[in-house]
Amino acid sequence: MEILLPKMGESVAEATIIRWVVEEGQHVSADDPIIEIATDKVDSEVPAPEDGIVVKHLVAEGDVVKVGEPIASFEVVGEGAAPPAAASPAPAVAPAAAEAVPQPVETAPQPAPSPVAPSVVAELEAPLTASAANGSNGSLEGRPARMSGGRFYSPLVRSIAEKEGIGQQALDGIPGTGKEGRVTKRDILTYLQQRTAPSAAQGPAGASATTAPQPLQVKVTTPPVTAPAPTSGEDEIVEMDRMRKLIADHMVRSVQTSPHVTSFVEADVTRIVDWRNRNKQAFQEKTGEKLTFTPFFIEAVAKALRDFPGVNASVDGDRIILKKGIHIGMAAATPEGNLIVPVIRHADRYNLNGLAAIVNDLAGRARQGALKPDEVSGGTYTVSNVGTFGNVFGTPIINQPQVGILALGAIRKKPAVVETEEGDVIAVRHMMFLSHSYDHRVVDGQLGGSFVRRVGDYLESFDPNRSPV
């Protein structure tokens, strides 16, 4: 049987392989972790489905695998014959070398000289095969599959490119025939054949129709790196960690997907501030929970989403999917400086006490890195409290495939005009900005602006006589 990459939430379509916990041929018990994976939301482990043996790894560390694709072959104990002995990794080098060089007859009417000898490819493949067999990094330690401009390259491809003097820009221009356009061993060898034997690619009349396109003529969709950023001896160069790379990729894709529009509203939250100051101590004594401003904001957003279901939606091609459940994600900062978005499911069903409890729980475990995959997936709308950093307002980026996100600014005392029965007066009030970014493909200005205005109205109309418990 095969172990498949499990579904980890509605918006999670793929995961990056971090580390194999179990080697090939190793026995595991049911629910033991066999592999560590990472998505753009959270790190997780895939457990063994039953007692058995991990026969073969079908993916390598650094690979990006789609949900539902096989990651390992697995034999349930007692299901069949014993798996191949794991103690024979050495012969694996021979078959690797046997398939090293593709047949040149497909790209030229006459045999073209091979730019890379089979022995060279075997030399490059050998450490990869050996390391996969014994669980070590071998001679390629520190050289995992790497992404450039959104494209992954295997250690073997990178090794061949390095040995043959192929720069990153030229490597990015090679057409890939692998999964999701990745460059395979055959692709880079074909490129080298064409580079060293251009006359063979021309051939007789009509032969060029079957040859691969010249890589230098291929339009590269990712911005080419022409030169490294200038640095001085005083500069510190910090490599992005894996989470930062995932966030960066997610944000770029969001901006490229959705035309962002942002509407702003200023709300008077004096009633909420005064009520919280009067009741926060009693609230904590009776419920055991600290009362922050976040539950008030979540409550108002949930009410507004019920009023405007067009904002509680996602986009699938030309279809708008109106979500029945109101599942609000709240952006939380981790100690490393990254952001993670745990989800409050059915946020509209909680009272203020319940929201305070779940907000504190999710925020605490987010900082500890203890969230489960299903707790960071399935959100229908997102809230980001930029006021915690002292920011007055922000223009947040939509969390795909959602269609809106709300930024909550810092609460500040300001002079404001207050309407009274005796007339308008100027008073010191607690004011804050709400910034609503929305996908203009499906949310127009009237809907997006009306929604954020409604959130502000709910905050301003808070009942000052409300019971604290």
Catalytic residue (one of 327, 440, 457, 463): 440
| Residue among 55, 64, 72, 82 nearest 15 (CA) | 64
How many helices (H) and strands (E) the chain has is answered by: 11, 21
Kindly report the backbone phi and psi dihedral angles of residue 51, in degrees, each rounded to the nearest multiple of 5, phi listed first: -70, 130
Query: How far lies 310's CA from each of 53, 315, 442, in Å?
Result: 49, 11, 8
Residue 174 has, within 13 A of its CA and on its CB side, a CA count of 29
- Is residue 440 part of the annotated active site? The answer reads yes
Cβ contact 33:3 at 8 Å: no
The CA-based angle 275-432-389, given to 5 degrees, is 100
Tell the residue number behind the tokens 């009776």, with chain if given: 286
Q: Say what angle helices 352-368 and 294-307 make with each other, to 10 degrees.
A: 110
- Is residue 444 part of the annotated active site? The answer reads yes
Token pair of 295, please? 């539950």
Rounded CA separation 315/439 (Å) = 9
Catalytic residue (one of 241, 249, 274, 444): 444
Is 12 in a helix, a strand, or coil? coil
Catalytic residues: 440, 444
